[in-house]
Amino acid sequence: MSSFIRGQRALSQFHPRSNIQRQFHPRLPATIPRLFSTSAASHAAKQDSTTVTTPPSTQIDAPASTLPAPLDLPTVLPANAQTSDKLKRLVTIGRAYLAFYKTGLKNVYRNYRASLPLRASLGLPAYIPISPPRKSSNVSPHKGIDMGRGQFQLVVRSARDVRKMIPFTLVLIVCGEFTPLIIPLFGSAITPATCRVPGQVAKERDGASKRKNAAMRAHARAIEPGALNPVSVGSGEEMRVLAEFASPRWVKEADKDAVLRACAVFGLVKSHARLGGRALVGLVYRARLERHVEYLGIDDGMIRAGGGVSRLSADEVRIALDERGAGDVAALYAGEKVKRAERKWLERWLDVREGEVKSRTGQSRVL
């Protein structure tokens, strides 16, 4: 009960006169606007004065507000520290997490507000968090899109985070300072990207890499029975398989098991061998894979049009690799070599994908 009260007190600091109810959704409960205000902590006050503006069309990176804010934790105490000091540190940690989560939720709202003009230009409804591409929108990898990659990523990420905001907020209200202990049970299913702590991000990437490797081994055995060696990260064979998974024609023609393997590689399903997965391919997973492949086609084209991989920040490169099933490239290198290896991987992906598109249009044959 005490944690519930503390959570309510922390979140009730959001300004009660906010006009979010009128602007964000006409039918939101009256209690929701109070979730977006600050008045007590100086850190929260500084964050409240921050606004998110629609990025220019020349910006290739998504706004920094779509990423988690810095998480400032106290230093580790020595083993012989007094019990009172340890208790104070625990309280400080709890407050740091609450401030981090509160900032993340505010950024979800600000990002969505900044994306509304862009959503209108794509033909997407203003108050329903639908992510492009959708058949009802004006977005297609074969059409010119009158916006930059930073703008498009703002639309995609804000819609994704808004869908997770309400369940995450409820957990934060109920659990208060204990939220970091509860969130791992749900993972990214209810956690907006702006509220993911570094440990959670690292754990999810490690799990995604393991699922990808298992799916790639299963795919190699399906093509060549008896194959045991996994496809190495960044190899030509890996690029060939991933490019095949990202081909719209392949997605339409692939069998159910292959679709599940591709979904596991791209992080769209928890396991390629999940129970009952084949029965859901026709209803859920093939359509989900088609949307992801269409999204990758759009994003690839926008990266090229925006100046290439060299213009992307290190954070954006890592996110792009996660979306393309790159696996844990960082595990093979150390220091600055990691960033160079990740950029090289993405550059090779774009080269292979561009060659595939040209081969389909009859311009050249690369694969």
Q: What is the pLDDT of residues 276-322, one digit of tens each?
A: 788 889 889 999 999 999 999 999 999 999 999 999 999 999 999 99
Residue 365 has pLDDT above 80, yes or no: no
Total residue length of the chain: 367
Q: What is the pLDDT of residues 82-98, one digit of tens each?
A: 888 889 998 899 889 98
Asked if residue 268 and residue 212 are part of one domain, the reply reads yes
CB count within 10 Å of CB 89 equals 16
Q: Is residue 365 part of a domain?
A: no
Dist. CA 159–CA 20, nearest whole Å: 16
Asked if residue 174 and residue 30 are part of one domain, the reply reads yes
Q: Which of 230-239, 314-323, 329-338, 355-364 has the lowest mean pLDDT?
A: 355-364
Higher pLDDT, 160 or 17: 160
Quickly count helices (H) and strands (E) in the chain: 14, 0
Asked if residue 206 and residue 83 are part of one domain, the reply reads no
Q: What is the pLDDT of residues 251-260, one digit of tens each?
A: 999 999 999 9
Asked if residue 211 and residue 165 are part of one domain, the reply reads no
Q: Is residue 56 part of a domain?
A: yes
Give me the residue label for tokens 């964050």.
Answer: 47
Q: Is residue 349 part of a domain?
A: yes
| Percent of the chain topping pLDDT 90 | 40
Asked if residue 207 and residue 302 are part of one domain, the reply reads yes
pLDDT of residue 321: 94
Residue 272 has pLDDT above 90, yes or no: no
Sign of CA dihedral 183, 184, 189, 195: positive
215 CB burial (10 A radius; 0-12, 13-18, 19+)? buried
pLDDT confidence of 189, banded at 50, 70, 90? confident
Asked if residue 181 and residue 144 are part of one domain, the reply reads yes
Residue 63 has pLDDT above 90, yes or no: yes
Q: Chain-centre distance of CA 203, in angstroms?
A: 14
In 3D, which of 323, 328, 330, 270 has the Cα closest to residue 153? 323
* Cα radius of gyration (the chain): 22
Asked if residue 223 and residue 148 are part of one domain, the reply reads no
pLDDT of residue 335: 67
pLDDT confidence of 143, banded at 50, 70, 90? low
Mean pLDDT of the chain: 80
Q: Is residue 295 part of a domain?
A: yes
pLDDT of residue 330: 66
Name 286's Cβ contacts closer than 8 Å, sequence gap at least 6: 251, 259
Q: Is residue 177 part of a domain?
A: yes
Residue 329 has pLDDT above 80, yes or no: no
Asked if residue 77 and residue 32 are part of one domain, the reply reads yes
Residue 30 has pLDDT above 50, yes or no: no
Give me the residue label for tokens 């396991």.
Answer: 271
Residue 47 has pLDDT above 70, yes or no: no
Of 196, 221, 240, the last residue of a domain is: 196
Average pLDDT (338-362) is 80
pLDDT of residue 135: 53
The answer to whether 132 and 156 have CB atoms below 8 angstroms apart is yes
Asked if residue 188 and residue 167 are part of one domain, the reply reads yes
Q: Is residue 332 part of a domain?
A: yes
pLDDT of residue 194: 95
Residue 323 has pLDDT above 50, yes or no: yes
- Calculate ∠ Cα 244-245-246, nearest 5°: 90
Q: Is residue 12 part of a domain?
A: yes
pLDDT of residue 64: 95
Asked if residue 106 and residue 243 are part of one domain, the reply reads no
Of 133, 165, 196, the last residue of a domain is: 196
The answer to whether 294 and 248 have CB atoms below 8 angstroms apart is yes
Which H or E element spans position 354? helix 336-360
| 125 phi/psi in degrees, rounded to 5 | -65, 145
Q: Which of 33-37, 204-208, 210-214, 239-243 has the lowest mean pLDDT?
A: 33-37
pTM of the model: 0.79
Residue 29 has pLDDT above 50, yes or no: no
Of 196, 220, 237, the last residue of a domain is: 196
Q: Tokens at residue 130, please?
A: 């639908």
Residue 135 belongs to domain spanning: 2-196
Asked if residue 205 and residue 185 are part of one domain, the reply reads no
Asked if residue 282 and residue 182 are part of one domain, the reply reads no
Q: Is residue 367 part of a domain?
A: no
Q: Which of 37-51, 55-69, 73-87, 327-341 has the lowest mean pLDDT?
A: 37-51
Total domain count for the chain? 2
Q: Which residues of 226-246 are buried (b: 16+ CB within 10 A; e: fewer)?
A: eeeeebebbeeebbebbbbbb
Higher pLDDT, 58 or 278: 58
Average pLDDT (102-127) is 92
Residue 49 has pLDDT above 80, yes or no: no
pLDDT of residue 224: 78
pLDDT confidence of 27, banded at 50, 70, 90? very low
